[in-house]
Each structure stands twice: as C-alpha cells, then as structure tokens.
Amino acid sequence: MVGLNADWSVTDVKLDVAEKMLRLTVEYVGQGVVCPDCGTSCAMKDHAAERSWRHLDAMQFQTILTARVPRSHCNECGVKTIAVPWSGKHSRFTLLFEAFAIEVLLAASSIQSAAELLRIDWSTAQEIMKRAVERGLQRRSLEDVRHVGIDEKSFGKGQDYVSVMTDLDASSSGSESGSHHRVSQSVVEYTVGVAAEEDSGCLHGHVAGLRVQHRGECSKSTDRA
Ligand SMILES: [Zn+2]
C-alpha cells in the first residue's frame, strides 16, 4: 500500500486524532545495501537522520511515513544515502501520492484548486509536475520521436498555463481509446509546469534541454518545433 519492498518493514503506527495524522514508522530490514550511484552491493555505513514523506491520506487523515534511511559505504562513490522504493530522490512525498496528485492536477480547473484539494502549496504542485515529467522522460526514449506538437493549455481564468508536448506520429495512429490513453500519458509525461512571471507576462518551460519560450503577451498561439 505504501510501496515498501521486502527490505522494509513497518515498525510503528500511530494515529494522532487531534492533529488528524496517521504516522507510520518504517525500518530497513534488508541484508546489505546497494550504492545509489553505481549499483554496487556494499557495506552499510550507518543511518541518515530521520526523514518524513507525505503519503496518500487515509480517511482524511494525512499519512506521514517516517524512516531513517541507511547510508552505503561504496569504495568508488563514498558514503551515500540509499534509494528508497516508495519515493523519488529529493521528494517529500511518496510516489503514490505524487501519482494521485497528477490525476488531481489533470482533473482540476486550476493548479491552485488542485493544490487546495491536495493540501499542498502552489510551488509544491509545480515540483510534483516537474518530477512527473522527469520520470516520464526517463521511461521513454525520445530518439524515435520525429514530429513534436507543442500546445499551450490554460486552466480556469487563464492564470495558470502548461505547455503540452505530444509525439504527433504516435498520437495520430491507433484506436480512439488508444490515442486517448496516449494523450493523457503524454500530458503526464510532457506537461511542464510553466512559471508565469507576473510582471513581464512571459511564460517559459524546459523539456529535456529543449527550451520553450512564449514571448510577448502570452497569447494562445501555438509554436511548432
Ligand atoms: Zn558506488
């Protein structure tokens, strides 16, 4: 449910009714550790300081996962905190929470309303979208993509924008349901949280080194790559 593997075990569950929090403590029970940089099995050095990750709410209680993550002692890379199966490298949220947050962001009328539903702030919502893009790009090779469609999507009153990049060749073939699936996957994979600079009125985003910039009055014109 949390995304633990056999190396991790839940050692404590506390329900804090006053704070409406469910706190799970997990501990590493695996044999040995793997260097997060080079993947070599190595000795455990010690445990890093306690960290917490927000997980999916349970019965409207915020669920917080807490752990002290082991640090590996690699001959090549030195001392590193190992990767955990439930979360990305620098995230304060579990992968399941982030996946749910993306669904809420896609369904909501604005980033702000999604952030309120998720009880996170606007910039955190942006970070979650950015990490979803990075994960999508890691999963998918861009070498086969020949034609890229760039579109701009506005939410609500048009104060929040995202740039959506689509593989045109892949999205123009296949059944209707298939292409719908691809489009929503593309939105998850390629949606870039675009920072709107209020004074200049300019929007820009980055996708895998490709810089997308909309100049001028933030019109809804479509750029083509
Ligand atoms: Zn290493």
Distance 33 CA to ligand 1 centre (A): 11
At residue 199, the pLDDT reads: 33
Distance 10 CA to ligand 1 centre (A): 27
Identify whether residues 37 and 72 lie together within a single domain: yes
At residue 208, the pLDDT reads: 35
| Residue partners of 146: CB distance under 8 A and separation at least 6 | 169
Token pair of 194, please?
Answer: 């675009």
Distance 70 CA to ligand 1 centre (A): 14
Is residue 83's pLDDT more than 60? yes
Q: In the chain, which ranges are E strands? A: 8-16, 21-28, 33-34, 41-47, 51-58, 61-67, 70-74, 78-81, 148-155, 160-167, 192-193, 195-196, 203-207, 210-214
Q: Which of 66, 86, 106 is at the close of a domain?
A: 86
Distance 43 CA to ligand 1 centre (A): 11
User: Does 49 reside within a domain?
Assistant: yes
Per-residue pLDDT reduced to its tens digit, 34-67: 999 999 999 999 999 999 999 999 888 999 999 9
Residue 50: count of CB within 10 angstroms of its CB: 10
| Residue partners of 65: CB distance under 8 A and separation at least 6 | 2, 24, 26, 52, 53, 54, 55, 86, 94
Is residue 33's pLDDT more than 90? yes
Phi, psi values for residue 159, rounded to 5°: -90, -20
Q: Which of 60, 86, 112 is at the close of a domain?
A: 86
Token pair of 66, please?
Answer: 């807490």
Identify whether residues 101 and 60 lie together within a single domain: no
Is residue 209's pLDDT more than 90? no
At residue 139, the pLDDT reads: 76
Per-residue pLDDT reduced to its tens digit, 177-197: 333 334 343 443 443 333 333
Q: Are 142 and 201 in contact (CB under 8 A)?
A: no
Computed over every residue of the chain, the mean pLDDT equals: 76
Q: Which of 54, 86, 118 is at the close of a domain?
A: 86
Distance 9 CA to ligand 1 centre (A): 25
**Residue 212: which pLDDT band, with cuts at 50, 70 and 90?**
very low
Distance 45 CA to ligand 1 centre (A): 13
Count the domains in the chain. 2
Amino acid at 39: G
At residue 59, the pLDDT reads: 85
Distance 62 CA to ligand 1 centre (A): 35
Which residue matches tokens 């569950």? Answer: 13
Per-residue pLDDT reduced to its tens digit, 120-178: 999 999 999 999 988 888 777 666 667 777 776 665 555 666 666 667 776 654 333 33
User: What domain range is 63 assigned to?
Assistant: 8-86
